[in-house]
Structure 1
Amino acid sequence: MNKDSARRYSTRLVLGAFAVGVMLSAPFAWGQGQKVLKFIPQADLRILDPITTTAYITRNHGYMIYDTLFATDAKFQVQPQMVDKYELSSDKLIYTFTLRDGLKFHDGTPVRSADCIASIDRWSKRDALGQKMAESTESWKAVDDKTFTLKLKKPFPLALEALAKPSSNVPFIMPERIAKTDASTNITEPIGSGPFKFVKEEWVPGSKVVYVKNTDYVLIKEAGYKGEKIVIISATDQPIVHSQSLLTAEMLRKLGLNVDLQAGDWGTLITRRTSKEPVDKGG
C-alpha cells in the first residue's frame, strides 16, 4: 500500500466527519459491542443522494458510506484511494487504473471496474468539473473487474484532481445498478464501500440518522499507517466549529489514528490552515 495512505485517508475522513451528525441507536450498536457516538448536526439529512444535491449535509453523509478512487493528502496532493496503482500513456491520453484488493460494498458484493465507470459517468453529468472532463473524454472501458481505462480526446491535466474532488459534488463510487439511476433522480438505496454503513430502516428525517461501522473496511494500520500525528485545531470561541472538531477527533481516534487535538481561536485556525509550514512549525 502506498506510504501516503494514512495521510490521504485522514484528510478524507476529516472532510467526512466535519459537521456530520452521527447518531447511533444504542440497542443496535451495543448489541455488536460498539461504542455509541451521538451528535447534533448543523442541518437535517433529507436527501441521501450526494450527486443530485450539493448540500454539505448530504456530502458529509456521502463520506460516511462511500469511498473515492482518489483523494488529497495532508499537503493537498492527489493520491490513490480505492485505486492501487495507475499509469498514464506518454501522449497523456490514456489512464489505466487498477483497484486495490478486497474492496467490497456494504451488501457484500466486490467493487468492480463497471461500478467505478458507471459512478463516474453519473457524477460527470451533474458536477461542473466532471462535465469539463467529460468533454475531453472519448471513452471509459473495463479491461477486467479490477482494471479500467480512461481514454481522452485531448489531454486533460485536471483528470486526477477531478477524481479526487473533495467537496460537492464528490465522485463517490456506488454499485453499478445504483449508479445507473438517472443523474437527476435521487437514489433510494444508499450502499457504498466506505467506513460506515447507513441503517436506512432507523433513519427518521428531522430526528435521527444511524450509521454503524463497516467491519470490512480496510483499517488505517493495515493500509500502512505508521502512527504519524494528525493535528486538529479546535476554535473554542466558535461553538459549532468546536463541537465538529471534537467529533472529528473522536472518530479518527476510534479508527486508530494518533490525533493531537489543540485548542485555539478562530483566527489561529485560519492562520494555520493557510500556512505552508509543517504542523511542528506552526502550520
Structure 2
Amino acid sequence: MTRSILKGAVAATVLLVGSATAVLLGAATAQAQDDRRVLRVVPHADLRTLDPVAVSVVITRMHGLMIYETLFAWDSELRAHPQMVRDVTTSADGLVWRFTLRDGLRFHDGQPVSTRDVIASLRRWMARDVVGSHLGARVASLDAVDDKTFEMKLTRPHGFVTQALGSAVGQIPAIMREADAASDPSRPITTTIGSGPFRFNRDQWMSGQRVVYDRNAEYVPRAEPPDGLAGGRVVKLDRVEWRIMPDAATAAAALQTGEIDIWEQPALDLLPVVARRRDVQVERLNSLGNQGMLRPNSLHPPFNDPRARLALAYATDQAEVMAGGWGDEQWWRRCRAYFICGTPLGTEAGTEGYASPNLERARSLLQESGYRGERIVFVTSTDIAPIGRMAEVVAANLRQIGMNIDLQVNDWGTVVSRQPRKDPPDQGGWNLFVTYASGATMQHPLTNIGTNMSCDGRNWSGWPCDEEAERLRTAFLDAAEGPARDAALEALHRRLAEVQPYRVLGQVDQPYARRANVQGVLNAPVMVFWNIEKN
C-alpha cells in the first residue's frame, strides 16, 4: 500500500512540474526552428573535473570524448579501429610500432596536432591510467620521426596495443596540446583545447546548472560510417546543452514536455510514467550494462588487511543492495564475476562461499583483521540517487557485523574530489565508497580499473596491492587464446575472490530516454552526441 501511495505521489509531482514547464515552453515557440539544431540533455551528474586523464568518472569521460580524440577508438563490439591514426605498422617481433597521423587534425586554437602533442599526451596517460600504466610498463621509448609519424618501442610484446590506445574506459588517452599534457599528471588541467568534434563553451558554462558544447566547424571526420566510438564523428547539431537537474521528477517532466530531448540516466521508478507517452522512447544504451561496486581503501586499517575486505563480501546482500539502488529486478541481476556475467570472461570461480550472506563468517574475518570498532568513514552522495541508496543499504549490512559506520553524504563533486586523497580517514581521507562502472570498463582484466592491484600506488583510488594477483593478471594478458588463457583467467579470478580489491554488488541495465524525434544515438560504452539529429 505504501509503495502504491508513493508511486502516485511521484506521478502527481511529475504532472504538476510538467504543467509549469509547459508555460515556459510557450515563450520559446519562436525559436522552434533553431531548437532542431540544439540538443538538450539531462546528464547523470554535474561536470566538476575537466581533465579526462585526471579522473575516471563517467561524466568527465563523456566531456573528454566531446572535445578530445584518441589515436584509436572502440566500435560497438569494443574492437579498436584507427581514429586519429592513418597508418600503423608493426615489426615482425611485435616490439616496434610506427603510427602516422591522418590529415586534417587541428586543435580548437588552430594549431595542427603533431607527434610532440601525441607523445606528451601518451606519457601523461601512462602515468595515470590502469590501461596506460600496463602498456607503459613495456614501453622502452616514444620517439617522433617527424611531425606526423612516431614510433613506440616495447621491451616485450603486448597483445592489446591498439585496444589500449583506443581505451574508452578509466582515464582515456585523450590527445592534448603538448603544453597541457606536459603538466604534472597528478594535477588536473583546467584548459579545454582539444581537436574533437565539439568545442567547450566556457562562457556558457554554469556549474550546477549548464554545460554547453558547440559544433567544431573545422573538424574533419573520418570517412567510415559511425560504429560505437569508431568511424566518422559527424556532428549534425549546432549545440549540445547539458542541463543539470538533480531532481528526478523535474527531469521527467522536462522530458515529457519537450524542454529536454534526452534523459541520459532516468530514475527507474519514473520510467513507467515517461514510457507511457508515444513521443518518448526508452532504450538501453548498450548490452553490457553497469557493475555495482563497494570500494574499500586498502591503504589504511582495517581494509589494508584482505580479511577485512573479504568480510565485506560475506556481509553484503547483493539482492538487498541492488533492489535498494535500482528497484525492480527487471533492471538488475545478481553477479559475482569481476569481469561481467554473460561475457566470455564472466567466470564466478572462487566466489561460491559468499553467494549468500554469512554474517558470522564476516564477523570472524573482521575480528581476525584486528578491527576493534574504529570509525569507518563511508563517503557517498545522493546526487546520483542509486549510489546514495546502495550506500545506505551497504551501511546497514555492515553495521550488522559490528562496523562503526560514519556515512558522510556530500555532493557528487565533493565525493569525486575526495576519492584520490590518500590521507587517513580522520584527516580528510576515507574508508569506503559505493559506485558503479560500465560493463565495457569492467569486462576485461586489461581495462577493469578495480582489479589492478599493482603495488606502485598508481592504480585506481583504493590502491589495493597484491603481487600475486598482478602476476596472474599479466599471465592472462600474455596467454595465447584457448585453454591456456581460460586457465589463467580462472586462476586470476580465484585470487581476486580471495583478496577482494572491491566487492562486486551486482549488475544493472541503465536505460536512457529520448524524445521520439531524436535519432542516431549510438551503441557505445558511454553516451556520445555526434550522429544525433532532431527531426
TM above 0.5, yes or no, is: yes
Letter in 1 for 2:173: P
Aligned to 2:225: 225
8 Å Cα contact 1:219/1:255 also seen in 2: no
1:77-226 to 2 correspondences below 5 Å: 77-219=79-221, 223-225=223-225
Query: d(CA) in 2 for partners of 1:254 and 1:137?
Result: 34
Q: Who is 2:383 aligned against?
A: none
Distance 1:199 1:115, change over 3 A: same
CA distance in 2, matches of 1:123, 1:216: 26
2:517 counterpart of 1:243: no
- Letter paired with 1:156: H
Cα pair distance change 1:248/1:108, threshold 3 Å: farther
TM-score, normalised to structure 2, is 0.38
Q: How far does residue 68 in structure 1 lie from its aligned partner after superposition?
A: 0.5
Does the residue aligned with 2:214 lie in a helix, a strand or coil?
strand
Query: Which structure 2 residues correspond to residues 2-13 of structure 1 after superposition, within 5 A?
Result: none
Q: Distance in 2 between matches of 1:75 and 1:235?
A: 15
Q: Distance in 2 between matches of 1:203 and 1:257?
A: 22
Q: Check conservation: 1:94, 1:150, Cα contact below 8 A.
A: yes
Tell me the SS of whatever aligns to 2:44.
coil
CA RMSD of aligned residues (A): 3.5
> Offset of 1:142 from its aligned partner?
0.4
Q: Which residue of the partner structure matches residue 264 of structure 1?
A: none
Tell me: CA distance 1:247–1:43, structure 2 relative to 1, closer, same or farther (3 Å): farther
SS of residue matched to 1:87: strand
Q: Deviations over 1:189-240 (max 9, x none)?
A: 11111110001122111011010001112246xx143999xxx981499897
User: Are 1:56 and 2:58 an aligned pair?
Assistant: yes
Cα 1:34–1:255 change in 2 (3 A) is: same
Q: Would you say the 8 A contact 2:519–2:533 is kept in 1? A: no
State the 1:76 CA deviation.
2.5
- Distance in 2 separating the partners of 1:226 and 1:242: 20
In structure 2, the partner of 1:265 is none
Identity of aligned residues (%): 41
Q: Which whole-Å deviations, capped at 9, do the CAs of 1:68-100 have from their partners, x for residues lacking one?
A: 100122333211110001000011110000000
Q: CA separation in 2, counterparts of 1:52 and 1:69?
A: 18
The CA distance in 2 between the partners of 1:78 and 1:247, in whole Å, is 31
State whether residues 46 and 205 of structure 1, in contact with CA within 8 Å, keep that contact through their aligned partners in structure 2.
Answer: yes
C-alpha deviation, 1:257, in angstroms: 7.4
One-letter amino acid of the counterpart of residue 212, structure 1 = D
Aligned residue pairs, count: 226
Relative to structure 1, the CA distance from residue 204 to residue 250 in structure 2 (aligned partners, 3 Å threshold; closer, same or farther) is farther
Q: TM-score, normalised by structure 1?
A: 0.70
Q: Distance in 1 between matches of 2:216 and 2:141?
A: 33
Name segments (4+ residues, structure 1) moved above 4 Å.
Answer: 235-240, 244-248, 250-259
| Cα distance in structure 2, aligned partners of 1:86 and 1:127 | 23
Deviations 1:33-67 (A, max 9, x none): 98221111110101101111111000000011010
Q: Give the conservation status (yes or no) of the 8 Å contact 1:133–1:159.
A: yes
